[in-house]
Amino acid sequence: MSIKTLSKKMLAIVAAGAMTMGLAMPTSVFAAGGDTATKVTAAYISKTFNREVAKDETFSFTATQVAGNTAKVTIPDISFSGTGTGTTTRRVQVSFPEWPDAGKYEYTVKETGATPAITDEKHQKMIMSHAEYTMDVYVSNGDNGLEISNIIVNKTKDDKGTAATGKVDISNTDKNGFNFTNTYVQEAGTGIDPTNPDPDYTTYGSLDVSKIIKTDAADTADTNKEFEFTANFTFPTGTDGTTLGAKATIGDSTTSITGTSHTFNLKHGQNVKFTGLPVGTKISVTESATPNYKGSAEVVINNGTKEAVAETKYNEALTVSDKTLGQNKNTVDVTNTYNYVPATGIIMNTLPYVLMIALCGVALIAFVGFKRRRLQK
């Protein structure tokens, strides 16, 4: 028998043996499922809650059985107290039932609600998570009877409800990706109870920026002159300008804010009232540099103490920056002082005095020259 023929017969025997062993494998091996080198036998689910205002809230979830599965899984509620703000994440362990048989059990996991529910969304909103996950639980015969041999969770939709894919970490660590994220938003300036806004809200909205011109007795400013402003916004996590329908109103004109910056013009005596800006929004308001005008501002954020901001020179931009809008009144009152400054940089009010000093200087030089010539003679 040739070596080639012998090799073929040995390969055939090995293949047949492998097939026989595969058929003889117990169902518990197949029930392990997934990567048996990294088996997981417990699952934790996490909830991330974004809020700039303290709020009590409880979130609930369901694990729905798929394809005739009768083994019910329960997920505990996750609660947050009203004393915290910012971004907080908490985890709970998924509870599994007594298993009727070995095999694979499939579930679809979703968030189902928040308590108390937000029903009046004019000045507040709860952004619910639309994430979805598939959870496959593999059950096999163990030393103590039927037990979980592996759990695999895959993400199918993200928090916005958009299709997603990928296996997630379900451990009791900060790496946990079996997560649902919710955001509570309240409109700035509405007060403690957004369902019954403070009286100031009618006048000032979420943020009010006003403009006046102040002149010296000898100067006359153009009160119809428009000054350019830019307001920049950094919205809280999970929000943007569309969350509460942010708008800017000047007189009878209203503009929606969809980005993070808004440019507008104000004349003497005008103001812009912003509405729909969330509590926690960081703002920066800049008035562009204007020849012959020097800017200053009084700033009140969250009904706090007035803060003064001022430029020391004419024709310089005025900026009020890094202010965080609160639940109460938020205002920026800008005042521009007018004084005509010609291109030479000499203020007209002081020109007569400058001329007098210049004439004195010329006279002194002439006198010194005259004396020097007499001495030389």
The pLDDT of residue 202 is 96
> What does the pLDDT read at residue 6?
44
- Return the pLDDT at 23: 36
Q: Do the beta carbons of residue 351 and residue 357 sit within 8 Å?
A: no
Architecture of domain 26-185: Sandwich (2.60)
The confidence score (pLDDT) of residue 24 equals 38
Structure tokens at 169: 């970490």
- For the chain, 377 residues long, the average pLDDT of each consecutive 10-residue run is 49 45 40 62 97 95 93 97 91 97 97 94 96 98 93 98 97 97 98 96 98 78 92 97 97 96 97 98 97 95 94 94 97 92 52 61 64 61
Pairing outcome for strands 179-186 and 44-51? parallel
Q: What is the pLDDT of residue 31?
A: 47
Whole-model pTM: value is 0.79
pLDDT of the residue at 374: 62
> What is the sign of the dihedral through the CA atoms of 48, 52, 58 and 64?
negative
Radius of gyration of the chain measured on its C-alpha atoms: 36
Provide the pLDDT for residue 323.
97
Report the CATH superfamily, name and number, of domain 199-338: Collagen-binding surface protein Cna, B-type domain (2.60.40.1140)
| Residue 326 φ/ψ, nearest 5 degrees | -110, -170
Q: Give the CA dihedral 200, 201, 207, 209, nearest 10 degrees.
A: -60
User: In the chain, what are the domain boundaries?
Assistant: 26-185, 199-338
For 136-168, the DSSP string reads EEEEEEETTEEEEEEEEEEEEE-TTS-B---B-
**Identical topology for domains 26-185 and 199-338:** yes
